[in-house]
Amino acid sequence: MNQANQRTTSLGKFRYALRPAKNIERKMLCEAFGCLASLAPLPSYRYIGLGALEFVDFALLHQRIGITDMLSIECRDDAFERIKFNIPYLCIKMKWGTSHEVLPTLDWRKKTIVWLDYDSPLATQILDDVRLVTSSLVSGSMIVITVEARPKEVEGNVNIAHDRLQALIQNVGEDRLPLMKEGDGAVRSLKGSDLAEWGLARVSRQIIDAEIARTLKDRNAPLDTESRISYEQLFNFHYADGAKMLTVGGIILHARDASRIPESTFDMLEFVRRTDDPYLIEAPVLTSRELTYLDNHITARGFKKASWLPQAECEKYKKVYRYHPTFAEVERG
Amino acid sequence: MASEHEQRDPGRVVDASATKELFIEMITRDIALVPSIVDLVDNCADGARRMRGNASYQGLAARLDISASEFRLSDNCGGMSVDLARNVAFRFGRPPNTPPLKHSIGQFGVGMKRAIFKIGKYFRVESTTASSRFVIEQDVVAWAKIPEWEYEFRELEEDGRFNSTQQGTTITITELHDGVAAEFALQDFVPQLKQEIKSRLRDPIARKLAITINAIPVDSEPLTLLASKELAPAYKELRFSATGAKPVTVRLFCGLGRLILEGDKTPATGWSAEIDDVSLPAFHGQYNHLRGYAYFDCDDPGRLPWNTTKTGFNMDSSVYRAARLEMMKMALPVKTFLDRLKEEKSAKAKAGSDEPGPLQSLLLSARPGDIHKIDTRPTFDLPTAKAKKVTGPIMQKIQYDEPLKRVQEVRSALKARSWKEVGEKTFEYFYKAEVGE
């Protein structure tokens, strides 16, 4: 079993709650999950996440949208006691094993929000998980996948483009490489130079999207048009608290449920992205005092009297202020 | 269109009709002899299915008699009505408005004719139902020379009354093709045919359809999976329905099986033949225990995912594609179990222990059971028993050979009761003397 492909809780690497972009993303997702209320009462949903020490996503979803049926898949059984100690709510159940081991053993009859939050790059085993989940989710469910999308460092390597392409092929197999569209509509093979900067994130999204599409094609093959299940992408986040990351996901729907949830429900959220065009989450670099100042000067059109502040940072804050975390030091009792 | 046809100048018409010789050659080329015979026997099983549905076929039989000069297959599985023979059964291809034959896997309307042409140049089909009886007899070579695509009933009785012992079909083929006669004469032909019938017609045989080849019964062991309290195979029933089409029921079983011994591998056991297509990792030795079976059933055989020779899947079939997704899902936990088993075995080997670990013990204590009778679960649960961490110091096994005489001398000097003890005591002696305090 390839350990590198499995999410390993990054114990001690960083405090999850303190990564601002991740923190913002989590709250944005949570807000979008809230829109599912027009399909079914939110507390009737189940949430499946991939562990971690602090259960931040679990706590958020429980507090904000009232989900109580929660399952954490955790492969770090060497930290069994420590992880168990950190479970914030009794309603969170644990399944020990890798996502690859646990996901196929679950009952999928309930509407579910699944967040496959890996911290490794896209690989075959992750795509297997995506396929399994997509083939199992019932209408009204959400699937979200996060993978690392950091291109290999250049470090003076003149063959870097080639090496990046080889690394991707090794991870997902050559048959999964997407074709690239040129500006004039012409189609060509993927090149290593396509993977620089956010290129790997874009390509990873395409590969995940194709896997979902292929799975649904098989799943829907023998079904009538009205019983067919479709996937609508809603999320395409790019962010980097350190390494570049991609989060892609969306809703799984029957035709008859689709009419109950108008597209505008999600499209009112400014971060929803239905296409290849990503939403970049950027946390502004501003002091606490500056953030408080900006909060106090928000108008319908933007911030007032902030000319002495760097405009670029203000703009970033304007986009995310509703989701931006506030960090402060507190005395622990 | 019709008027256009009438006005056509005969001088402008180009003949594009097929010759019967070409046609016969074409339809018989793509099937091997053994599968074509299995096709014929399968028609008997279809008859049994129509008579009894999913109940027992006790009392129904299909009897094959094969020699270098004659092929004969007779059954008592209900027979073929005169109507069916007149309008459908002897046509090449199913007419589009024919109602589907319930539970039949023959959908293309070529199986019987193809088998007959494959085997010989003269045939006789006799069939009796409760109310009708007919005989068709034909010299194929002579028939190929006439332009009409027709046969004539040699004997015909409609509105009769025939009791159940008279009902059935007998197909006799003589003037065998040279190659076929030679094959029939081979020592291993009957065993080969038997094996193929056994694996392709497992279900009807399990329902007690008595099939014999030259009076040798073809028996079939039930399909089994290993089962115990802790290790229960997974079972799932899927139903694919679509408006205007008969629903397809798919029953899937997946779990662990006994290792298949070399030479006993039957290609048609469930999806083991198709395992690579179910997207499991390249088939490593450690997955030899993985076993799955898939049953497809539908009143409309056209919805079943077989290819025309029924020896494999039609991979593009919508039902197959959807079922394959489920097969993959069901196989994953079994695969995980086998991965863990492999880890456990290598950990044991490293520690020099011969004792089976907890997973190995589970596997050893499970017994094969008939898949239709054992307890199943929705998913193959991974037993919670995990490879126990080896406690105490890491161990190393030592092995060496010495001349027997010398070892016996040491053994008696040590008063050791086993060879193992000889090894342990000599090591202990050396350690105390030279290494320890």
Write down the pLDDT at residue A194: 93
pLDDT > 80? residue B288? no
Write down the pLDDT at residue B340: 86
pLDDT > 60? residue A89? yes
Domain boundaries of chain A, sorted by first residue: 3-151+197-281, 284-333
CB atoms within 10 A of CB A219: 20
Write down the pLDDT at residue B264: 37
Convert the pLDDT of each residue in B302-339 to its tens digit. Answer: 778 876 665 566 777 888 888 888 888 888 888 888 88
- Please give the radius of gyration of chain B, using alpha carbons only, rounded to the nearest integer: 31
Mean pLDDT, rounded, of chain B: 81
Confidence of residue B393 (pLDDT cuts 50, 70, 90): low
Using CA coordinates, name the residue in chain B closest to A124: B281
The tokens describing B389, both together, are 């961490």
Contact call for B381 and A105, based on CB within 8 A: yes
Mean pLDDT of all residues in B289-304 = 80
Closest CA to A74 of A46, A55, A90: A55
Q: Strand, coil or helix: what is B12?
A: helix
Q: Strand, coil or helix: what is B125?
A: strand
Q: How far is B92 from chain A (nearest CA, A)?
A: 28
pLDDT > 80? residue B124? yes
In angstroms, the CA B198 to CA B187 distance is 18
Q: Which residues sit opposite B124 in a β-bridge?
A: B137, B172
Pick among B290, B325, B330 to test the A interface (most A CBs inside 10 A) = B325
Residue with the bigger pLDDT between A171 and B357: it is A171
The tokens describing B105, both together, are 């896997």
Residues of B in contact with A224 (CB under 8 A): 242-243
Write down the pLDDT at residue B180: 92
Contact call for B321 and A221, based on CB within 8 A: yes
Of A132, A220, A224, the CB nearest to B329: A132
pLDDT > 80? residue A13? no
Using CA coordinates, name the residue in chain B closest to A2: B339
Confidence of residue A109 (pLDDT cuts 50, 70, 90): very high
In angstroms, the CA B284 to CA B277 distance is 14
In angstroms, the CA B80 to CA B124 distance is 14
Confidence of residue A96 (pLDDT cuts 50, 70, 90): confident
Confidence of residue B295 (pLDDT cuts 50, 70, 90): confident
Q: What percent of chain B has pLDDT over 70?
A: 84
Confidence of residue B387 (pLDDT cuts 50, 70, 90): very low
Residue with the bigger pLDDT between B304 and A94: it is A94
Residue with the bigger pLDDT between B84 and A116: it is A116
Q: What phi and psi values does residue A187 have, to the nearest 5 degrees?
A: -115, 135
- Amino acid found at A161: A
Q: How far is B299 from chain A (nearest CA, A)?
A: 16
In angstroms, the CA B305 to CA A292 distance is 66
Give the pairing of strands A141-148 and A112-121. Answer: parallel
Residue with the bigger pLDDT between A159 and A1: it is A159
Write down the pLDDT at residue A16: 54
In angstroms, the CA A245 to CA B367 distance is 49
Convert the pLDDT of each residue in A256-285 to its tens digit. Answer: 888 888 888 999 999 999 999 999 999 888
In angstroms, the CA B337 to CA B334 distance is 5
Residues A116, A133: contact at Cβ < 8 Å?
yes
Q: Strand, coil or helix: what is B140?
A: helix
Of B242, B379, B381, the CB nearest to A224: B242
Using CA coordinates, name the residue in chain A closest to B324: A218
Pick among B329, B338, B381 to test the A interface (most A CBs inside 10 A) = B329
Q: Strand, coil or helix: what is A126?
A: helix
Contact call for B381 and A100, based on CB within 8 A: no
B382 and chain A in contact, CB less than 8 A: yes
pLDDT > 90? residue A60? yes
Closest CA to A323 of A249, A270, A251: A270
In angstroms, the CA B124 to CA B106 distance is 21
Mean pLDDT of all residues in B223-247 = 86
Could you say which DSSP state residue B89 is in? I
pLDDT > 50? residue B230? yes
Q: What percent of chain A has pLDDT over 90?
A: 60
Mean pLDDT of all residues in A7-25 = 67
Using CA coordinates, name the residue in chain A closest to B247: A222
Write down the pLDDT at residue B109: 65
CB atoms within 10 A of CB B105: 21
Q: Strand, coil or helix: what is A234?
A: strand
In angstroms, the CA B46 to CA A139 distance is 39
Write down the pLDDT at residue A256: 84
Residues of A in contact with B332 (CB under 8 A): 100-101, 104, 128, 132
Write down the pLDDT at residue A193: 92
Mean pLDDT of all residues in B390-395 = 57
Helix axis angle, A124-136 to A160-172, nearest 10°: 40
Mean pLDDT of all residues in B197-210 = 87
pLDDT > 50? residue B275? no
Convert the pLDDT of each residue in B132-162 to its tens digit. Answer: 999 999 999 999 888 888 888 999 999 889 8
Q: How far is B292 from chain A (nearest CA, A)?
A: 16
CATH class of domain segment(s) A3-151+197-281: alpha beta
Of A1, A128, A218, the CB nearest to B322: A218
Write down the pLDDT at residue A216: 95
Convert the pLDDT of each residue in B75-115 to its tens digit. Answer: 999 899 888 888 888 887 776 766 655 545 455 567 888 89
- Amino acid found at B399: Q
Instruction: Kindly list the residues of chain A whose beta carbon comes within 8 Å of any beta carbon in chain B.
Output: 1, 97, 100-101, 104-107, 128, 131-132, 135-136, 215, 217-224
Residues B101, B208: contact at Cβ < 8 Å?
no
Q: How far is B310 from chain A (nearest CA, A)?
A: 20
Biggest CA-to-CA distance, chain B: 117
Contact call for A97 and B382, based on CB within 8 A: yes
Residues of B in contact with A255 (CB under 8 A): none
CB atoms within 10 A of CB B198: 18
Q: How far is A105 from chain B (nearest CA, A)?
A: 6
In angstroms, the CA B16 to CA A102 distance is 61
CB-count exposure of residue B331 (10 Å: 0-12, 13-18, 19+): buried
Mean pLDDT, rounded, of chain A: 89
B38 and chain A in contact, CB less than 8 A: no
Q: What phi and psi values does residue B211 have, to the nearest 5 degrees?
A: -105, 130
Closest CA to B79 of B48, B117, B105, B38: B48
Using CA coordinates, name the residue in chain B closest to A95: B384
